[in-house]
Structure 1
Amino acid sequence: MAGAVLLPLVLLLAAGCGTFAQEYPPTGVDQLTIPTPSPNPADFVAGVDNPWLPLPAGGVRPVRVTRPGLPVAEGAVTVLADPVEVAGVPATAVRTAVGATVATDYFAQDTDGNVWWLGHDDPVPALSWRAGTAGARAGLAMPATPRVGDGFRRALAPGVEERVARVVEIAPEEPRAPEQVVLEVTSPLDAAYEARETYRRGAGLVSRSGSEGLQRLD
């Protein structure tokens, strides 16, 4: 996802009895319904330029994935030039290719600068979802202005994808402008899943570490 690109929020989660009927109350993301049941195309802009998750069309970044007991895998994350319509919204498509595995995620930015995750196409069909289909809803990938303590759902696809993120660190502290945001991510579908994601201003996701190993984007 991407980066400039958000590495596939492809954290392969097993289907289960999640809490998809519940709303996750944000702790600081004001006036947003997360996940959103029906995104309005008029609320979105072309492209994604949130400073914490910029997705410039044509952007390419190398990615390196390290998992316990497995060889290091390398690949690339590419922001595709042409938008793809998801739930009526022209979404930015981000393709992640690591080894023989290729997955695509879809993001869109609203008029306030918040970035939403609208879907995921996975080589395993059962792990694919798109907002507006089979009860799936778009969640928040990155707020326009992250604040420590903010909590929000990343996605809500019944039995397929359910993830909750919380902002746990913004550094350095004032008076200097923050250059890094750290999120902790969990999933009600998988109690063992946890990840710590680090985003750098102007670059986007630079690392994700946790139960599924370590992913780094250069």
Structure 2
Amino acid sequence: MYLPTAFRQDDLGVLHEEIDKARLATVVSHGASGLQATHLPVLLIREEGQYGTLYGHLARANPHWRDWQAGSDALVMFNTTDGYISPAWYPAKAEHGKVVPTWNYISVHARGPIELFDDPQRLLQLVSRLSDKHEAPRQKPWSVDDAPADYIDKMLRAIVGFALPIAHLEGKYKLSQNRDPADRQGVRAGLQSSTDPRDQLLAGRMPCAD
């Protein structure tokens, strides 16, 4: 990922929080079939390894996992918020007009070797923890235990799990840090005025103007 110094985020705790906020990840790898990508939720175990370990699962029918040889690397990408930045929001537009549109976003990339597994107990633990994570905000959370055991066993046979110990982790927080305080405040105000909740979310992630 292209990573100018102004946008670089190296704080491990912050990067872990961003991964936990992400609802969906993109797993990319290259193998005998060429480049492949799969979109799926993943679970981060922070305490495993130097940078944490990611866990997820794919449908057994998905050919992507068959390209993962022992120890082959994969890239997992997380994007939690993004938005279009209009040059009309910059006070600099009125001063000299030398402004252009851009896009602000937060992105985290994790790379590491893939380990596949299909042990039923390990898969059950994974899908239970993933479900618990995403059901937690609900008033009446669903649990894997709510489904018939024989049905869950059948579903587990239809998936393949993976673990990815993170060997390299980097984050990019492109939030107008390269603009002067007046322009940053203009961007924040512009995003806050939008009726799109995604823009308002991005406004809340913007650093305060100096």
Higher CA-based Rg: 2
Q: Same fold (TM over 0.5)?
A: no
Greater helix share, 1 or 2?
A: 2
With structure 2 as the length reference, what TM-score do the two structures score? 0.28
With structure 1 as the length reference, what TM-score do the two structures score? 0.27
